[in-house]
Amino acid sequence: MRETIELTGMVLKATPVGDYDRRLVILTRERGRITAFARGAKRPGNLLMAVCRPFVFGIFRVYEGRDAYNLHSAEVRNYFTELAEDVEATCYGSYFLEFAEYYSRENLDGGELLLLLYQSLRALLKPALPNSLVQLIFELRAMKAGGEYTEFPPKEVSESATYAWQYILETPFESLYTFVLKPEVEKELKSCVDINKRRFLDRSFHSLEILEMMK
Q: Which residues of the chain have pLDDT under 70?
A: 1
What pLDDT does residue 45 have? 87
141 and 106 together in one domain: yes
137 and 61 together in one domain: no
Give how far the C-alpha of residue 136 lies from the chain's centroid of Cα atoms, to the nearest Å. Answer: 13
Q: What is the 3-state secondary structure (H, E, C) of 2-67?
A: CCCEEEEEEEEEEEEECCCEEEEEEEECCCEEEEEEECCCCCCCCHHHHHCCCCCEEEEEEEECCC
What pLDDT does residue 66 have? 83
Give me the number of domains the chain comprises: 2
Q: Domain boundary residue among 27, 58, 78?
A: 78
DSSP per-residue codes, 105-158: -BTS--HHHHHHHHHHHHHTT-TTS-HHHHHHHHHHHHHHHTT---SS-SS---
134 and 154 together in one domain: yes
Q: Torsion-angle region of residue 61: left (phi > 0), alpha (psi -120 to 50) or beta?
A: beta
For residue 21, give its domain range: 5-78
What pLDDT does residue 2 have? 73
100 and 65 together in one domain: no
CATH of the domain at 11: 2.40.50.140
What phi, psi does 176 have (nearest 5°)?
Answer: -65, -40
Entry pTM: 0.95
141 and 91 together in one domain: yes
As to burial, measured by CB atoms within 10 angstroms (0-12 exposed, 13-18 middle, 19+ buried), residue 94 is buried
What pLDDT does residue 1 have? 55
Q: Domain boundary residue among 37, 52, 78?
A: 78
99 and 192 together in one domain: yes
Q: CB of 148 within 8 A of CB of 154? A: no
175 and 195 together in one domain: yes
50 and 112 together in one domain: no
What is the rounded CA–CA span in Å between residue 160 and residue 181? Answer: 9
CATH of the domain at 183: 1.20.1440
Strand partners, 7: 60
Please enumerate in sequence order all residues whose Cβ is within 8 A of that of 154, keeping only pairs 6 or more positions apart, or say none.
192, 195, 196, 199
201 and 101 together in one domain: yes
| Secondary structure class of 89 (helix, strand, coil) | helix
54 and 96 together in one domain: no
130 and 182 together in one domain: yes
What pLDDT does residue 81 have? 95
Q: Domain boundary residue among 53, 78, 103?
A: 78
120 and 99 together in one domain: yes
Provide Rg for the chain, Cα atoms. 18
Dihedral angle, C-alpha 81, 84, 85, 90, nearest 10 °: 120
Length of the chain counted residue by residue: 215
What pLDDT does residue 214 have? 80
